[in-house]
Amino acid sequence: MSVFALEGIPEVAAGDDLAGLIAIAAEIADIAVAAGVAAGTLLRHGDILAVTSKIVSKAEGRLRAAADREQAITDETVRVVATRAYPGGVTRIVENRQGLVMAAAGVDASNTPDGFVLLLPVDPDASARALCTALRARTGLRLGVVITDTAGRPWREGQTDIAIGAAGVAVLDDLRGTTDAHGRRLDVTAPAVGDEIAGAADLVKGKASGNPVAVIRGLGRLVLPLPAVDPVAAGSGVVDRGAAILLRPSENDMFRLGSAEAEALGYDRGYAAGLAAGLTAAEADLP
Provide the 8-state DSSP code for 183.
Answer: S
**Nearest Cα to Cα of residue 54 among 104, 117, 99:** 117
Return the residues of window 224-283 that contact a second copy according to CB under 8 A.
245-248, 253-283
Site string for a second copy, 193-212 (x = CB under 8 A): x-xxx-xx-xxx--xx-x--
Contact in structure between 19 and 12 (CB atoms under 8 Å): no
Tell me the C-alpha distance between 247 and 121, whole Å.
16
Return the residues of window 115-174 that contact a second copy according to CB under 8 A.
150, 153-162, 172-173
Tell me the C-alpha distance between 25 and 51, whole Å.
13
Task: Output the smallest distance, CB 96 to a second copy, in A.
Answer: 12
Q: With binding defined as CB under 8 A, does residue 31 bind a second copy?
A: no
Q: Which is nearer to a second copy, 68 or 253 (CB)?
A: 253
Task: Output the smallest distance, CB 259 to a second copy, in A.
Answer: 4
Among the listed ranges 24-32, 72-80, 138-146, 180-188, the one in contact with a second copy (CB under 8 A) is 180-188
Task: Output the smallest distance, CB 242 to a second copy, in A.
Answer: 13
Taking CB under 8 A as the criterion, the residue among 3, 59, 145, 166 binding a second copy is 3
Return the residues of window 65-94 that contact a second copy according to CB under 8 A.
82, 84, 93
**Nearest Cα to Cα of residue 118 among 13, 41, 205, 224:** 13
172 DSSP β-pair partners: none
Q: Which is nearer to a second copy, 33 or 277 (CB)?
A: 277
Distances (CA, A) of 69 to 98, 145, 224: 18, 29, 38
Tell me the C-alpha distance between 270 and 192, whole Å.
38
Taking CB under 8 A as the criterion, the residue among 67, 178, 220, 238 binding a second copy is 178
